[in-house]
Structure 1
Amino acid sequence: MITKAVRMYGKNDLRLEEFSLPEIKDDEILVKVISDSICMSTYKESKQGSDHKRVPQGIDVHPVIVGHETAGDIVKVGSKWQHKYHVGDKFSLQPALTYKGKNYTVGYSYEKCGGACTYAIVPAEVMYTDSLLQYKGKAYYEASLSEPMSCIIGAFHASYHNTPGKYEHVMGIKKDGCMAILAGAGPMGMGTIDYALHGDRYPHVLVVTDIDENRLKRAAAIFSAKEAAMRGIKLYFVNTADYDDPVKFLRSLTDGNGFDDVFVLAPVSGVIEQADKILNYDGCINFFSGPIDTGLSAKVNFYDIHYNSIHMLGTSGGYTTDMLESLKLSEEKRINPAVMITHICGINGIIDTTLNLPHIPGGKKLAYPQIEMELTAIDDFAEKGKNNPYFAKLAEICKKNNNLWCAEAEEYLLNNWPVKTVK
């Protein structure tokens, strides 16, 4: 089997190559990758190479396939797993594994398995840890985005509050409380808003801040205050750059009491300090943005830690149960991971997109490795459609769907796009 893959040989050294995959072993599974969303974590990985804690040494000789937000079809099943997995099944994949005391991560650790490829061999430990997940929905991108959504869901579950009079933590955001998502109109912020509005436990007040007015306007257009009010949620979008004293204004939206849960979605000292200043008694900060700077620090009010019982935590990644919850919510149409997506590309667009990810505006960049297509914003489909009938059709489909990516657009792309990587 010939596969085409984006492999990492070192820092800033990503290469798109074709090579042969061996026959699978009895405890392996061959898959066809249909979609892979590009994560900021992969950008950080590409910058750090083997200095990254998840990447092995020697990748200059044994390069790893990048990409870990992946979905596709099962093509061939080794004899050991034929009772559980079947050819033709759709799959999603939990990339972070612990097996026999060792840690592995798909997209960081393997020469033959990752998301940025046409075909991959799923190693045995993925199945032994029940990390190859069956997906029964229609759209592959929803299965790919179950990985970033699982990180969001895990963060909600990991947040906690104290039980008065007991040494006991109540896990999860405070039900019917006040919640703020700071720097929250980016791609992960959009997923966080979606889950905050449509999960089983949701706040009474939800405030989303950012300093990018265009991102805030997009978020407000997708998540309407009117719809939120139908669930009993007061939803506000706030550009903190518009206020001389943003802390005072944000607290005013909670009648001066402060927020029970604050999610920080940017690794910026000022945003962390702002979060600290807007907490209510027993408030919880979830630092949900993985920094590159190993010395990142911020001022925290220890008076409030002592007397107001405030606390903080950081979460990275999600558990398999969180991915299963995301898949279930997507299948039930309770959440719509497409709110995170602003750009589409084929396998030929993955390298430049990954290496320049922080500098490309918009939200999630979604790759389809089975096609070749330059990275293109959904907002640019119509303009490109003036000279390309395929973009014109994609623009027409997305326009009907509030200019969001959707199952119909994905199906059209996969069935009609003229430049395919697999003949």
Structure 2
Amino acid sequence: MKSKAVRMYGKFDLRLEEFELPEIKEDEILVKVISDSICMSTYKLVKQGKDHKRAPKNIDTNPIIIGHEFAGDIVKVGSKWADKFRPGQKFALQPALNYKGSLASPGYSYEYFGGACTYCIIPPEVMELGCLLNYDGDSYYEASLGEPMSCIIGGYHANYHTNKVNYNHEMGVKAGGNLLIMGGCGPMGLGAVSYGLYIENKPKRLVVTDISEDRIKRAREVISEEIAAEKGVELIYVNTNSMSDPLEELMALTDGHGYDDIFVYVPIKQVAEMGDTLLAFDGCMNFFAGPTDNQFKAEINLYNVHYNSTHIIGTTGGNIDDLVEAIDLSSKKIIEPAVMVTHIGGIDSIADATMNLPNISGGKKLIYTHFDMPLTAIDDFEELGKTDPLFKKLYDSCKRHKGLWNSEAEKLLFQHFGV
């Protein structure tokens, strides 16, 4: 059958093409992709081309399908998996395969397996690893956003604190502690704020920094300090650009204690070094932001490592349990992945949006792959709705949901485009 996909041939060489998919083998599954959100990691892939560690060296002749945050419907199941999956099932996917030590991953490495397409073929290793999950939620976008949320959840689970009595590490962020998210008003940061308000070992104080008043304003609109207070968390948004001495003032917010857990969400040397300085005794800093420079370095205080037991880790991706948790919490409306989304588009908008991602303001760009639609900011729905009935409906729907994308709005799009 034919599929339409955005394929990468080299550095900043993305092409929207229609091509023939081969017949699936007995150990493969054919799926219809419905939604795919664009990740900054894909921009890094496009920037590096075949130099990226996950990209094959022959992409100029055997292009790969980009996109790895996708969800959709199962269309056809190879006989090997007929007892586990059936046509018509919705699916979610954990793309962090780590199959037998290989770096191969959907959206980076496969000719026929990625999210920026109408149909693709899931290879056997995905099912062998348990990375293809049945999804029963009422929207597709929440399953797509399950992947970035699983990365966030994985970061929370990976942080740890030491125990000097028996040296066992207590995993997770410190319950009742001070938690700092640096560069936290972007899409992933807001996902981390949303999750941090609902975990069992939630902090008593959650400080979120940014340098953009517009991003801070939107953060307050979608996750307010009042909502956090109802959950027993003191949420504080701060613009470090407006501080005369960010180190002193951020430390003062903890009454001089420092931060038990810190997540660095921007790959900036000065931010990482500031985080290291702000760690409390036995504090854990998670360098979450992935740099494109493989020589990216920052200084750490080894005196504090020795005497204050501070420690630094880094996490990338999540595991299957993290994805299951993300989907479960989303389906129960306990967390709101929609806080990450600021733009909606069709398959024709993927290539340009991906190649220009750092220059497009806002958060996550959510794509629906079975129709054409310019990449459009949710904030622009109101103005567009004055002349376009579809955008009027979308605006009204989002307005009923705190300005956030939602399952009702998704269904309105499907009805309009006949998906």
TM-score where L is the length of structure 1? 0.97
Could you tell me which residue of structure 1 aligns to residue 225 of structure 2? Answer: 225
Cα-to-partner distance string for 1:8-37 (whole Å, 9 max, x where unaligned): 001110000000112111111110000000
4+ long deviations beyond 4 Å: none
Please give the alpha-carbon distance, in whole angstroms, between the structure 2 residues aligned to 1:196 and 1:208: 11
Whether the 8 Å CA contact 1:181–1:262 is kept in 2: the answer is yes
What is the Cα deviation at residue 100 of structure 1?
A: 4.0
2:28–2:124: 8 Å Cα contact kept in structure 1? yes
Post-superposition Cα deviations, 1:150-208, rounded to whole Å, max 9, x if no partner, equal 10000011101001222221111011111000010001001010111112321011000
Contact 1:6 1:116 in 2 (8 A): yes
Distance 1:76 1:367 in 2: 23
Query: Deviations 1:67-102 (Å, cap 9, x if unpaired)?
Result: 000000001111111100011111011112133443
SS at match of 1:272: helix
Write out aligned runs for 1:282-301 (5 A): 282-301=282-301
Bigger mean CA deviation after superposition, 223-232 or 84-93: 223-232
SS of equivalent residue, structure 2 residue 181? strand
Deviation by residue 1:230-253 (Cα, 9 ceiling, x = unmatched):
222111000011111111111111
Q: CA deviation at 1:351?
A: 0.3
SS of corresponding position for 2:103: strand
Matched, 1:387 2:387: yes
One-letter amino acid of the counterpart of residue 11, structure 2: K
Quote the residue 1:129 is aligned against: 129
Counterpart of 1:75 in structure 2 is: 75
* One-letter amino acid of the structure 1 residue matched with residue 19 of structure 2: F
Structure 2, unaligned runs of 5 or more: none
Match of 2:359 in 1: 359
| Structure 1 partner of 2:302 | 302
Instruction: Provide, for residues 275-312 of structure 1, a one-character-per-residue CA deviation record: whole Å limited to 9, x for no partner.
Output: 01111100110000000112211221111111111000
C-alpha separation in 2, matches of 1:383 and 1:303: 56
The question of whether the paired residues in 1 share the 8 Å contact of 2:53 and 2:103 is answered with no
Matches within 5 A, 1:53-72: 53-72=53-72
CA distance in 2: counterparts of 1:183 and 1:23, whole angstroms: 46
- Aligned partners of 1:295, 1:49: CA distance in 2, in Å? 18
After TM superposition, the structure 1 = structure 2 runs for residues 247-286 of structure 1, keeping only pairs within 5 Å, are 247-286=247-286
Number of residue equivalences: 419
SS at match of 2:104: strand
Point out the more displaced range, 284-293 or 226-235. 226-235
The offset of 1:109, in angstroms, is 1.1
Partner secondary structure for residue 72 of structure 1: strand
- Distance in 2, matches of 1:232 and 1:182, equals 21
Q: Which TM-score applies when normalising by structure 2?
A: 0.98
Cα offsets for 1:339-367 (capped at 9, x unmatched): 00000000000000000001100000000
| Identical aligned residues as a percent | 57
C-alpha separation between the residues in 2 aligned to 1:48 and 1:13?
Answer: 11
Q: Residue 170 of structure 2 aligns with which residue?
A: 170
